[in-house]
Structure 1
């Protein structure tokens, strides 16, 4: 691998000859600028149209800023500042849920958001730290910034991808705002069926690093042209190559990303379904009151039985009571509608297990399915639960007690559950933010004996009000369609209720905060994309190998001169 370009101390001596204790401290504004870059990166995500192009520019700026650091500590804090700026502006809607709907005092809710953003910022910080060592930055003893190199570019892409994967895994994971999501409408979306959202983030970071590498060599060539000897033909040829090669690779990767959507990884199969997606627009503060429950129940009964379809889907916990406590008349009416019109129905309610002593234990957040002409119910129990909302992490009961949210500890469903069969079309369901875990969706598609041809997400985002969370969640669902090559249907309480085709395109959508139903015709698909087959294993393995090579063969700290 190529050696980094030598940095020079101001007195003309090599920076490596300067004692490490004399390393230059970066000014505070360096980290403030990194935080501003992170905040700007929020604009790359929905609802910004085609934000993927903006994200490439912002990541190039972030990588350039990382190369200005002078050691592993400054790299770590630069990554932390960038991450904090990104998350505190990107998930501010958590404040809405804690304060306006959870009843937490504003100061405590704001403090919780800041602390959570600082925690999330640790993952970009650790990625920057790993990059600093594996690119040779922290090992070479330099006191001034170093110029981007080949091994530095691959180390940046690999460390960034592993950092995002870790954020989606540790402490049950929170992969919201993974960088690959902004590429759903961007130039790198075509890589999603091959390597998934973390792999798209890897490609994004690599392209950004190559762009910076080329621009730095352009600037260096300009400096050499002014201060260097005339007629240095050999050096000029080398400079052209050092600019053209990384720039050409970056452009080629973008072109490949733009062409890959032309490849069909899956194929249509089974008869298309006519589906009605319901949006109740039930106010969150009314949902769990007696009057609000009765009003919600009547409204969803009307929406369900309004007209027949092959499948009708309600939002998450549209019926916010235990299944056994559901009013008998409601159950009879929707069963009669299903049998009389040959309409399958998926509705959200609370599940539970009845003990021999007639006690209810193991409450679950569930979807129940009615199949026309058949007794019994299909049941899906949510597997990936929301911390603080559906289960209380150890030691945080005091935090949950600060909020007035009528949720507690739920039991988990199995990681892979059978699909719901509608006519001859198997459909896989998930609830709420389960669809932000692409590996779990891919596993459901891959490991089911009857592979589902349609994905369904039933959710309630009323907790977050009229915020960017609605558009961000829709963007995440679109990534799941790209990764699996399957259409995704979303039934939500307040938005965004939508139908997404197998290529990640939104084909129909209800306006947010309106009551009604969305009628769509959707065709299921079969076949496995490369990502469904291998999951995140590909990007993890490649990243680990490249980081190991960078650490082993990157520039090492030079030996100290003898007195």
Structure 2
């Protein structure tokens, strides 16, 4: 007896909604995803205008996810992509652990791989979450090998954007966070940069994922039979409109000039990392920076992070007096990287900090900023990992942290916000300081010592992230580094001056501070997170398929 229509419908419905598992997909599928992730590293600095390349790569990733048959295979695809991207994008951590931390090469390599595997859990989570919310194929296909695969839909595109943003935000938050290579950073020179001042780097990543998903949706509709013009044109127009609006927003001025411009000098000492903490190296640094600072005056003179690797109480008296006289005589304000500490009743130093000290002309009060967001394993040791840090030769590996919001440093009438190295990759924290400060800063200053990473892409990537901070806040940034890249970035994210890496020199510039709030300063990441969580919740509610009118279809997309 022939099988009933109802039975056949039930069979196809089950085939289209049942996860067949990752084993149904060739292992080469995951190898290709890993290679695609490695290719995505080229989207980031130092590649110029890499944001356009990133659009193509993320679109291919989304199309690749369409081939998966359930949340497990989707998660493995996202994880393979993430591992390929991150292990090739942060390989410079091996340099810091092995060459400068003196960790044995096999252990340093293993640590890099394990760390990249951990980071890959977040894109894996995003892809799996998308799979659970995206909905299944909306029609019965005769070839059961295709049953259960996804078709591009509006709901799927919105779920992809939301899951992508949530995953990147979690990676930048959990266990103090590591948002390096968040997808929005590649858009600093891409078509979506204009959205940075509204939604920040994670919001730009959301828009990137949405745009790429809609491109795939439009292309898939163009090859579908029958072809429907609306199905092709609708997503294509929204994707093009998003790119166009992003370009137009780049010309919007969210902030305005505040107070008079200031003259600045940014110093790059190019002190070798292996000599930085030696007694001879400290003496050389004192002589070098004394000469560079006192060569001539400026409204603001900035040294790199821990330019003088000792406590101010330990500064030689001649050095301290020379800087004080120079500041008073020339009207120069100085920001000097050093270590801070508390002094106990017994005269012992405790609670060492990575700090910046400011000298104001005509004042004997010393400004102090203590780094708040510390680097795991480099500046603080997570619970249970002291054994790991002991494998490396990194001085002061467990520091105290400063307050989340600290007072700005004033240069004449211009308030300046200071952060140290790793801190400027956390845009939400900088936005919070500008939002909560009694007097919001008009200029951002970041001081770094990237010598830990040698002559690698880490230097260019760090500068790219600093540029994102200027786009988010509408304020210029002064980046003073030990070995590179020392630069002046204007309020539009453009590098107006830059020193070559691994040279000794200085940048002299005239910088206009800005005032006012961008939408991102006001809202932080709240907007993109609220939208993402709502859309994911809606996706869960409407994920089930239905059988209607003799064929299988998903809920309306």
Q: What's the TM-score, normalizing by structure 2?
A: 0.93
Aligned residues: 534
Q: Which residue does the alignment assign to 1:181?
A: 185
- Are 2:283 and 1:285 aligned? no
Q: Which residue does the alignment assign to 1:136?
A: 135
The answer to whether the 8 A contact 1:273-1:521 is kept is yes
Q: Which runs of 5+ in 1 are unaligned?
A: 1-10, 225-234
Q: 1:18 to 1:477 in 2, by over 3 A?
A: closer
The answer to whether the 8 A contact 2:16-2:148 is kept is no
Q: Which residue does the alignment assign to 1:83?
A: 82
* 1:232-287 CA distance string (max 9 Å, x none): xxx55xx1110111011101100000100111100001010000000000000000
Q: Which residue does the alignment assign to 2:448?
A: 459
How big is the shift at 1:550? 1.1
* 1:152-206 CA distance string (max 9 Å, x none): 0000000000000000100000000000000000000000000000000000000
Q: Which residue does the alignment assign to 2:176?
A: 172
Q: Which runs of 5+ in 2 are unaligned?
A: 1-8, 141-145, 549-557
The answer to whether the 8 A contact 1:16-1:143 is kept is no
Q: Which is worse superposed, 321-330 or 411-420?
A: 321-330
Q: Which residue does the alignment assign to 2:325?
A: 336
Cα distance in 2, alignment partners of residues 316 and 380 from structure 1: 12
Cα distance in 2, alignment partners of residues 398 and 186 from structure 1: 43
How big is the shift at 1:557? 7.7
Q: Which residue does the alignment assign to 2:241?
A: 252
- Are 2:422 and 1:418 aligned? no
Aligned ranges 1:182-197 → 2 under 5 Å: 182-197=186-201
Aligned ranges 1:11-50 → 2 under 5 Å: 14=12, 16-17=14-15, 20=18, 25-50=24-49
How big is the shift at 1:138? 11
Q: Secondary structure at the match of 1:319?
A: coil
Q: Which residue does the alignment assign to 1:153?
A: 157
Q: Secondary structure at the match of 2:350?
A: strand
How big is the shift at 1:558? 7.1
Cα distance in 2, alignment partners of residues 22 and 91 from structure 1: 34
Q: Which residue does the alignment assign to 2:374?
A: 385
Q: Secondary structure at the match of 1:14?
A: helix
* 1:121-159 CA distance string (max 9 Å, x none): 000000011101111249999844221111000000000
How big is the shift at 1:35? 0.4
Cα distance in 2, alignment partners of residues 407 and 371 from structure 1: 28
The answer to whether the 8 A contact 2:137-2:147 is kept is no
How big is the shift at 1:556? 3.8
Q: Which residue does the alignment assign to 2:434?
A: 445
Q: 1:196 to 1:18 in 2, by over 3 A?
A: closer
Over the aligned positions, Cα root-mean-square deviation in angstroms equals 1.9
How big is the shift at 1:530? 0.3
Cα distance in 1, alignment partners of residues 498 and 107 from structure 2: 36
Cα distance in 2, alignment partners of residues 244 and 400 from structure 1: 56
Q: What's the TM-score, normalizing by structure 1?
A: 0.92
The answer to whether the 8 A contact 1:158-1:202 is kept is yes
Q: Secondary structure at the match of 1:258?
A: helix
Cα distance in 1, alignment partners of residues 41 and 153 from structure 2: 28
Q: 1:324 to 1:548 in 2, by over 3 A?
A: same
